[in-house]
Chains A and B, each alone.
Chain A
């Protein structure tokens, strides 16, 4: 690898993996979230409410385990921004060591046509005031100022930590929340921020038409610009051209997925193929049920990070897609070093041999017993040094 910086080497590894080419070693991505904080000297609230501490958590974590990429750089839960606006969806509990998030329901089924008519206006005039009570109370201007400051501080942290990782640690960006590149399917927006899981499940059966119209409008407004941006150049520090997280598919049957979810996702994928770009799909729950859709995607454009599937089976079903994940939280948290390393070896041997594999953890590592430090040290060391 002479003449190539570590950053370039890592980007090359990721690119070869998604292109389904054999790599001399298997790149590893960190699927560690709040566990990082529990592994540090700080309590959850200390790191979540103080960007300097969060930065230290991230840097120490990287220096200890040296992953090739990070799904979270301490930016997943912007606790300070939302609390400045009076939206108390995050509750940090230091004693139980959990971060609580409630279901977000801010819209009624009858409002789909209004959402469809003008998504931006609807969000600003209807959703935000419902979600952030302080916007409508006395002193709204003051809280706006606070929030703007908090947003700037968050953006500043995000830029700083990303730059530190690319420049100092030579770790490419997996996703850049400010540079386009990240898309959220309209169905995910409805599921996560607008209608909630129960509401959406009912809408699929009772308001399907207006739901689909609203999704189309949301696509035009929020997703299409990023899709068109694929025609341009991706930052040289990025591992992939696009990133997306899927969890709302977890309520859909295969047939419903085909009708409701796939058409928009397919538009994105078609553009990826047309422009010869790549996308990392972080998929919660299972993907096996939807194989038939992904099977038709030309080889070399997608990574699917799977949580609940048997990854060895998924490999057989999807020879055209690079897979990420595989290392069970169950083992990292409860087994001994040898069992963990043996399993990691099996993953590398069976999935990495012919290329198309990125090593990672199956679950979003969040709680103390999701992992033991000695196991993670041994496994990340092993994966970094193992040659196929």
Chain B
């Protein structure tokens, strides 16, 4: 069995060579699904380390993007041994950058971190219309809706999404979190979201609190 501690640390250090070596060796031992799940969890703990280092200023946006890619690669290596249906998801979130806004860096970072935390993320991409949010919520019935945007106009687009969710009778079935630079406490209240953050790691914690 692979040294789980070392694996988490290698992810935290963003040491790709080491992560891939550890995982390839592990997969070659033909592990069972339970072992594989422990390794996935270790990877997720590594992402928490990355989030912590981001908060201290040691890592910045580029490092978070790299961490997201690294985790993606790690999960891809593990896929054959995790087994097809992974039913250990802790919750689900519908996610997108709102209409009129094409800035998706922050959204993508949050997506990799929330996935690392064990959520199923339904990513609608960028420039997402209120209608598309509503349709997806109706379809997959998530616990959380996450909206991202960095343009000032994103706040109006976020409001429009919530209005449509209300209109469709779906507002009370979900928690809504907004993120991206212009969000604030005031904006959050005006828009009618449940939480806001400009820090992806904090957003993950808020979502975890909701599905507990």
Contacts and interface: CB of A to CB of B under 8 A. Distances in A.
Interface of A: 93, 96, 98, 100-102, 197-198, 200-202, 204-206, 250-256, 289, 308, 329-330, 333, 363, 366-370
B52 to A, nearest CB: 14
A363 B152 contact: yes
What DSSP secondary structure best describes chain B's contact surface? loop
Contacts of B151: 98, 366-367
Interface in B50-96: 57-63, 65-66, 69
Interface residues of B, number: 23
Interface of B: 14, 16, 57-63, 65-66, 69, 99-100, 102, 105, 108, 127, 151-153, 156, 181
A333 B152 contact: yes
Name which of A197, A250, A329, A333 has the most chain B CB atoms within 10 A of its CB. Answer: A197
Q: Give 5 closest A-B pairs by Cβ, nearest first.
A: A201-B62, A253-B60, A251-B62, A201-B65, A367-B153
A260 B183 CA distance: 31
A202 B14 CA distance: 11
Contacts of B61: 201, 250-252
A93 B102 CA distance: 13
Nearest to B104: A103
Contact of B62 (A102, A252, A329, A333): A252
Contacts of B60: 251-254, 256
A198 B153 CA distance: 24
A355 B69 CA distance: 47
B105 A197 contact: yes
A98 B57 CA distance: 34
Given A204-B62, A251-B62, A253-B59, A100 B127 contact: yes
A369 B156 contact: yes
Contact of A98 (B16, B66, B153): B153
B131 to A, nearest CB: 14
A205 B16 contact: yes
B57 A253 contact: yes
Contact of B152 (A102, A255, A289, A369): A369
Given A363-B152, A370-B152, A253 B63 contact: yes
A30 to B, nearest CB: 17
Contact of A253 (B58, B65, B100, B181): B58
A251 B66 CA distance: 11
A368 B127 CA distance: 17
Contacts of B99: 96
Nearest to A253: B60
Contacts of B57: 253-254, 289
B66 A201 contact: yes
A200 B16 CA distance: 16
A228 B77 CA distance: 51
A202 B58 contact: no
